[in-house]
Chain A
Amino acid sequence: MVENRHISITVNGERKEADVEPRMLLVHFLREIAGSTGTHVGCDTTNCGACTVLLDGRAVKSCTILAVQADRRKITTIEGLSKEPGKMHPVQKSFVDNHGLQCGYCTSGMIISAYWLLKHKKNVSEQEIREAISGNLCRCTGYDNIIMSIKDAEKRMEEEGDTLEEEQAVTVRK
C-alpha cells in the first residue's frame, strides 16, 4: 500500500493543503482540490497544452508534473491572472474582443502561454508568438485570431503598465 503525502501548494496566492497519492497529477490537484477548474485536461499526453499553468512563474504543462513535485511551490492558473476580482486580465480581454476562441477548451492554456511570452519579451514578432504557442493546440480557430489577440494583448498590457517581470515575482491575486 502506497502512503499518501501531505503537500501544500500556493495556488493563485492561496495555500492549498491535502494528503494526496504520490501519483496524482498537478492538473488534478488544481481542478479537484484547489477548485481551479479553469485549467483543463486536454490530451493528457504532454501535447496539447490545455493544462498550461505557471509554476513559480514558468509556463509548464500541469498534466506532466506530479502534484508532489509542486509541493511548497507557487502556481498561477487562469483564475489568478487578473489582479482584480471580476475583472479580466488584458490578455483575457483581448482574446474576447478579437474572437481568439471558439469552443474555448484550449483558451486557458493558450492565455497562460501568451501571458508568459508577454511577460518575458517586448515588441514580440509574429514568429515569436507562433513559437510561444507551439505547445498549445487549438482545433477551432486556425490560430489567426489567437495571434491577433496576443498582438493586441501586448498593446493593452503596455497601456495598463503591466510590463516585464522577473519570474519569481509574478504577482498573483491574493
Chain B
Amino acid sequence: MYPKPLTYKKAKTLDEAFSMLSQNDDARVIAGGQSIMPMLKLRIASPSLLVDIAPIRELHEIRLDGNNLTIGAMVTHREIIESSEIGKNLPMLQETARHIADVQIRNRGTIGGSICEADPSADYAPTLLALDAKVVLKSSREERTVDLDDFIVGPFEVNINQGEILTSVIIPVNRSPYSVVKYARRSADFAVASMAAIVEKKPDGTITDIRVAVGAQSDRPLRMKELESLLKGQKPQKKDLYLEVDKAVEHLDPIDDIHGSAEYRKEVTANILKTNLGSLIFGGI
C-alpha cells in the first residue's frame, strides 16, 4: 500500500519546521512515523506535505529541571526504556514504555508521536494522566503548556492548531508506588484494557494520594477522579474498594470490536483495578 502522493521536507530547526508548516494548510508532522505511516497507507490521513522533525536536535533531549523531567517529542520508546534519568525519576513511565507494541516499533516510535495520535487504547496516556503530565506546544507565534488531560480531545483528536508542534512533555518526578497494567491477547497488540495507578499511604494505611487512569475504556483515556476522591483520606477495606471499582467501571463506555466486546473490556478493567489497586493499598496480590 502506498500513501497518496505527497511532498516531504526535513526540518533541521524548529523555525524551519514552522515555516514549512505555514506554507501548506494540510501539512502534517512526521516524527518516528509509527502512527502516521499506517494511517497514510490506509489513507485515513492524506496530507500533501509531510514535515519530518527527526533532525531537530532539541526534540531529542531528556532533561531534569528541578522537580520536572522534560522529555523531547522525538525521544523514542526505546530511549525511554534505556534512560537512567527516567529510570531514577519516573520508573512508572519506563515500565509503560516496555510494553508498547514490539521491538521494531519501540526502536522508532516516539513519545510525541504517540501522544499526538491519541489512540484511545494507546499505552502512554493512562500513565501520563496519572503523573499529571503537561505538553508543550510551539508555533512561530507562541508557546503554550497544556495539561495532557485537556490536550486529548477524543479518538485520534488532540487540541493542537495547524502550524503548532508538540515539542516536549513535562512530567513531575514521581517515585511513588505504582502499578501499570496492559491487557492484550498478544503482547504487540493494542490494549483491550489498561490501567495506571499511583498510591501513597501513611504507615497506618490511610491513603494520602491516589491517582488512577484507564485506557481503552472510552473514546479517550480517563482519570477516574470520582474513584480517587472516594478513596483518598480513607483506610478502605477490600470489600469497599471492590464495590467502588465496580461502581466506577459501570460508567465506562468502551468500544465493542473484534478485540473485545464492551462488556468484556469492562470486566477486565474491573478485575485489573481490583487486583492492582488492591495490591498497592493492601500489599501482596
Q: Are A23's CB and B54's CB within 8 A?
A: no
CA distance A52 to B108 in the complex (A): 12
Q: Are B54's CB and A69's CB within 8 A?
A: yes
Partner of B108, one of A2, A22, A60, A132: A60
Residues of B within 8 A of A63 (CB): 41
Q: Are A68's CB and B8's CB within 8 A?
A: yes
Residues of A within 8 A of B40 (CB): 23
Q: Are A49's CB and B34's CB within 8 A?
A: no
Q: Are A64's CB and B33's CB within 8 A?
A: yes
A130 to chain B, nearest CB (A): 8
Q: Are A135's CB and B102's CB within 8 A?
A: yes
B109 to chain A, nearest CB (A): 9
| With A44-B41, A131-B187 as contacts: A49 and B4 at CB distance below 8 Å | no
Q: Are B34's CB and A64's CB within 8 A?
A: yes
- Most chain A CB atoms below 10 A, which of B1, B7, B102, B188: B102
Digitize B38-60: 1 where CB-to-A-CB distance is under 8 Å, 0 elsewhere. Answer: 10111000000010101000000
Q: Are A2's CB and B5's CB within 8 A?
A: yes
B144 interface residue (CB < 8 Å to A): no
B153 interface residue (CB < 8 Å to A): no
Partner of A69, one of B41, B52, B102, B103: B52
Interface SS of chain A: mixed
Interface size on B, residues (CB 8 A): 30
Partner of B37, one of A47, A64, A132: A64
Q: Are A23's CB and B52's CB within 8 A?
A: no
B279 to chain A, nearest CB (A): 22
**Residue of chain B at shortest CB distance from A68:** B8
B262 interface residue (CB < 8 Å to A): no
- Most chain A CB atoms below 10 A, which of B34, B103, B108: B103
**Residue of chain A at shortest CB distance from B1:** A44
B101 interface residue (CB < 8 Å to A): yes
B186 interface residue (CB < 8 Å to A): yes
Digitize B13-50: 1 where CB-to-A-CB distance is under 8 Å, 0 elsewhere. Answer: 00000000000000000100110011011100000001
Residues of A within 8 A of B78 (CB): 58
Residues of A within 8 A of B34 (CB): 46, 64
Q: Are B38's CB and A46's CB within 8 A?
A: yes
A113 interface residue (CB < 8 Å to B): yes
CA distance A47 to B103 in the complex (A): 12
Q: Are A58's CB and B108's CB within 8 A?
A: yes
**Residue of chain A at shortest CB distance from B8:** A22
Q: Are B37's CB and A46's CB within 8 A?
A: yes
Q: Are B7's CB and A59's CB within 8 A?
A: no
- Most chain B CB atoms below 10 A, which of A46, A63, A132, A136: A46
Residues on A lying within 8 angstroms of B by beta carbon are 2-3, 5, 21-25, 44-47, 49, 52, 55, 58-61, 63-66, 68-69, 113, 116-117, 131-132, 134-136
Contacts A23-B3, A63-B41 known; 13 new A-B pairs at CB < 8 A: A2-B6, A22-B7, A58-B78, A59-B104, A59-B107, A64-B33, A64-B34, A64-B38, A66-B8, A66-B33, A116-B103, A134-B187, A135-B103
